[in-house]
Structure 1
Amino acid sequence: MTVYVLGGAQTDFARNFTKEGRGLLELFAEVVPAALADAGVSADDVEVAHVGNLAAELFTGQAQLGGLLVAAVPELDGVPSTRHEAACASGSTAVLAACADLEADRYDVALVVGVELMRNVDGQRAAEHLGSAAWAGHEAVAAKFPWPALFADVASAYDARYGLDPGHLGLFAEHAFTRAALNPLAQARDWRFPAAAFGPDDELNPVIEGRLRKQDCGRITDGAAAVLLASPAFAERLGGGFPRIAGFGHRTAHIGLAPKIASGGEYLFPHLHGAVADAYRRAGVPGPGALDVVELHDCFTITGLVALEHLGAAPPGGGGRFIDGGGLDAAGINPGGGLIGLGHPVGATGVRMLRDAARQVSGTAGETQVGGARTALTLNVGGSFTTVVTMIVQAAA
């Protein structure tokens, strides 16, 4: 059964909710009514809810987020809800669970909310909390910043296999900030950097861990995103014409980075390539040439480069040449800035990707619109490419 995206919303990812005296409750209270209004439905229409979140217990001491959702939006009292955690892919797994509910004909309308509050602690503490999604006690043990260290290891593994030009990573980051400047909800929309900030300048672009410099790294972000999903019958009652989730891929590998890298094969991460192939097959899409837009996970520049190759936009080892040749704009990669430019409130990212993909194929993406977009792909990863979720979203027929 096809699942339709009725509408959605996201908060302004530039905001620091703690400085505003706000928290998780206010994130829910802001994004859910906005999503309902955008979708043209009421809270009474919602029959099930799914919440994506990584680490609310660590950052805020708060669990039981389904109940917090009802506290924020009392009209949802009695609606069944489940919270989903898959590191940075938490939001996408929440979407898949909602789709399964609709496809099983249990419900006609599902609300999916992704939420993360991370700027209420200092950067070092935030890095430690986020490190819980790595293999605790087994990797990045001595690293000051666990995730930059692990993705620096990805960069080293890539370099050993193919050769890595750090200039290509700089170009990727520069593209992210250029696109974010067009997005009124992007965290980095007002940030401006001199050209040297994307190169090996130790003052403007200091090394964070290993091969990765400041501009290679996504930033700590507060935010929430929500979408309303519906069955064909309900979508038709609203008049139809909604974008649809046409296919998906979902695979999980060993939590540790080293075992994944040691797996061998044509691709650095075979399960990542497999998840994308699953989505193409389920959607009946022949491959990357049929895509107009890609919402690509780029928590680090190396993440984005690797993901480009695994979705087929470039051959293995060819991601740098693809970037250098202007492929990011030509292929509609991250038109709103991606995680580096737009922001990465971890549990919200997968939901935000779906919302933006649906807006693109509906022609309602504003200044970030890719002309004539009809088919979009989202690629969301959790951990060191441990959990992979990809979806293909298509315009109404």
Structure 2
Amino acid sequence: MTSRAYVAGVGMIPFVKPGANAPYHVMGAEAAKLALTDAGLDYGKVQQAYVGYVYGDSTCGQRALYPVGMTGIPIVNVNNNCSTGSTALFLARQAIESGAADCVMALGFEQMKPGALGAVFTDRPSAFDDFDAAADKLVDAPGVPLALRYFGGAGLSHMKKYGTPLSAFAKVRAKASRHARNNPLALFRKEVTADDVMNDQVIWPGVMTRLMACPPTCGGAAAILVSEKFAEQHGLNRQVRIAAQAMTTDTPSTFGANDMMQVVGYDMARDAAKKVYETAGIGPEDLDVVELHDCFAHNELITYEGLGLCGEGEAARFIDDGDNSYGGRIVTNPSGGLLSKGHPLGATGLAQCYELTRQLRGTAAATQVEGARIGLQHNLGLGGACVVTLYERV
């Protein structure tokens, strides 16, 4: 490593329901311009760009960035399912730390359709064949869409192992709504109670109601990473830097453990978090704020344990004690998370970067976690990849 990577600028456009969005290239360009403005930089200073999206043809990254500037720089298109945005960030950070570049943009966007996620290329083997087979073997839920079966099945596994009540997931969703109420960029800002969540439309009896799942949305987000030398030369903001980052992919335990928690990435999250803590020389007890991948309330709950925010089997108590919110031990998803903002796949990881950068700068307004100095980001994509990023205020 030759240089630390600093987050000089971030940008995010409001996420919206499919059909209410601008085209992907317009959303991407707008997010990129917001990040450049926040950094106080001209696009001509950017030396490389990594652009993430899932639902789009090749070189959509170029289509989004050419209106920002056609400077001839390398533009790399990235697709890593739901962890696409943080994978773009991972590559941008590597470029800075290796000395390959001094100013890099990570951009993510997604133009989505309503309804459950599904395959686009149906004339060839799916990347999820093994995951589908595991879900078919471990979960008896005919008619339940696959993503719901994956994460609902993981929640069901936790319920069976530890006696976790369904109300624990409802409390996670209620907490998300309380946080989102103060976030002008959240799509759903109406506060709901745990009882509201429990009484909502049932989509899997005893396992999930509609409010426990995040909706598909469209949007874009971006970050500008720079080296310390570049930041000094151009008088850029150096308040926030990436202290450690790790990406993990699946291991034999994903399918060998015969547990839906592992199928949806519990071990990937645990292993990535462990690497990050070891690199930074800290532990989860040192964290002030976390933005984690709550595509379902079930995933937020099991990820508390995967990231070490609480011990295994202790998530329900962690929630009941209020340790996942303001006034507790570690504020999780002060933005409202995916449950309140929605999940435009390519943008999500960079939206998390946007939120944590503002938290550590102390500019998060009504969602501000007082005195936040260390933040952790968890972004998960099945198939699979998990990226965990640790940010620190300098």
Partner of 1:185: 185
Aligned mates of 1:177, 1:6 — CA distance in 2: 30
The one of 63, 67, 80 aligned to 1:68: 63
Partner of 1:59: none
CA gap of 1:194–1:4, structure 2 versus 1, over 3 A, is closer
Amino acid at match of 2:294: D
Matches for 1:367-378 after TM superposition, within 5 Å: 367-378=366-377
Aligned mates of 2:251, 2:209 — CA distance in 1: 27
Partner of 1:325: 321
The one of 90, 93, 97 aligned to 2:87: 93
Partner of 2:240: 243
Amino acid at match of 1:381: L
Contact (CA 8 Å) 2:44, 2:71: kept in 1 or not? Answer: no
Contact (CA 8 Å) 1:134, 1:256: kept in 2 or not? Answer: no
Matches for 1:291-370 after TM superposition, within 5 Å: 291-329=287-325, 330=328, 331-370=330-369
Aligned mates of 1:12, 1:263 — CA distance in 2: 33
Partner of 1:18: 19
CA gap of 1:295–1:264, structure 2 versus 1, over 3 A, is closer
Partner of 2:139: none
Contact (CA 8 Å) 1:6, 1:228: kept in 2 or not? Answer: yes
State the Cα deviation string for residues 215-263 of structure 1 (Å, max 9, x = none): 1101111111000000110111233533000001211005996445459
Amino acid at match of 2:91: A
State the Cα deviation string for residues 150-205 of structure 1 (Å, max 9, x = none): 1111122222322221111000000001111110011112x344653221x3xx33
Contact (CA 8 Å) 1:5, 1:358: kept in 2 or not? Answer: yes
Q: Does 1:123 align with 2:119?
A: no
Aligned mates of 2:345, 2:121 — CA distance in 1: 9
The one of 3, 8, 11 aligned to 1:9: 11
Identity rate of aligned residues, in percent? 30
Partner of 1:275: 272
- Count of residues in Structure 1 that have an aligned counterpart in Structure 2: 378
Q: Does 1:50 align with 2:47?
A: no
CA gap of 1:25–1:260, structure 2 versus 1, over 3 A, is farther
Contact (CA 8 Å) 2:179, 2:335: kept in 1 or not? Answer: yes
Residue 341 (structure 1) shift: 1.2
Residue 37 (structure 1) shift: 0.3
Contact (CA 8 Å) 2:214, 2:338: kept in 1 or not? Answer: yes
Residue 17 (structure 1) shift: 6.2
Partner of 2:103: 109
Partner of 1:379: 378
State the Cα deviation string for residues 35-78 of structure 1 (Å, max 9, x = none): 1001111101100000112222xxxxx331232123332x1431
Matches for 1:100-249 after TM superposition, within 5 Å: 100-118=94-112, 121-124=113-116, 126-127=117-118, 134-135=128-129, 138=133, 143-189=143-189, 191-193=190-192, 196-199=195-198, 201=199, 204-208=200-204, 211-239=207-235, 241-249=238-246
Residue 334 (structure 1) shift: 0.7
Aligned mates of 2:143, 2:260 — CA distance in 1: 24
CA gap of 1:246–1:157, structure 2 versus 1, over 3 A, is same
Residue 342 (structure 1) shift: 2.2
- CA RMSD between the two structures: 2.6
Amino acid at match of 1:324: D
Residue 339 (structure 1) shift: 0.9
Aligned mates of 1:130, 1:140 — CA distance in 2: 21
Contact (CA 8 Å) 1:90, 1:347: kept in 2 or not? Answer: yes
Aligned mates of 1:221, 1:92 — CA distance in 2: 17
Residue 297 (structure 1) shift: 1.0
Contact (CA 8 Å) 1:135, 1:255: kept in 2 or not? Answer: no
Aligned mates of 1:393, 1:8 — CA distance in 2: 14
Secondary structure at the residue paired with 1:6?
Answer: strand
State the Cα deviation string for residues 308-328 of structure 1 (Å, max 9, x = none): 011111100100110011011
Secondary structure at the residue paired with 2:305?
Answer: helix
Residue 139 (structure 1) shift: 5.5
Aligned mates of 2:8, 2:259 — CA distance in 1: 42
User: What's the TM-score, normalizing by structure 1?
Assistant: 0.88
User: What's the TM-score, normalizing by structure 2?
Assistant: 0.89
Contact (CA 8 Å) 1:361, 1:394: kept in 2 or not? Answer: yes
Secondary structure at the residue paired with 1:36?
Answer: helix
Aligned mates of 2:186, 2:261 — CA distance in 1: 37
Contact (CA 8 Å) 1:296, 1:378: kept in 2 or not? Answer: yes
Stretch deviating more after TM superposition (108-117 or 250-259): 250-259
Structure 2, unpaired ranges of 5+: 137-141
CA gap of 1:296–1:9, structure 2 versus 1, over 3 A, is same
Residue 16 (structure 1) shift: 3.9
Amino acid at match of 1:394: E
Aligned mates of 1:205, 1:130 — CA distance in 2: 31
Stretch deviating more after TM superposition (211-220 or 143-152): 143-152
Secondary structure at the residue paired with 1:328?
Answer: coil
CA gap of 1:312–1:139, structure 2 versus 1, over 3 A, is closer
Structure 1, unpaired ranges of 5+: 57-61
Secondary structure at the residue paired with 2:272?
Answer: helix
Partner of 2:28: 28
CA gap of 1:134–1:11, structure 2 versus 1, over 3 A, is farther
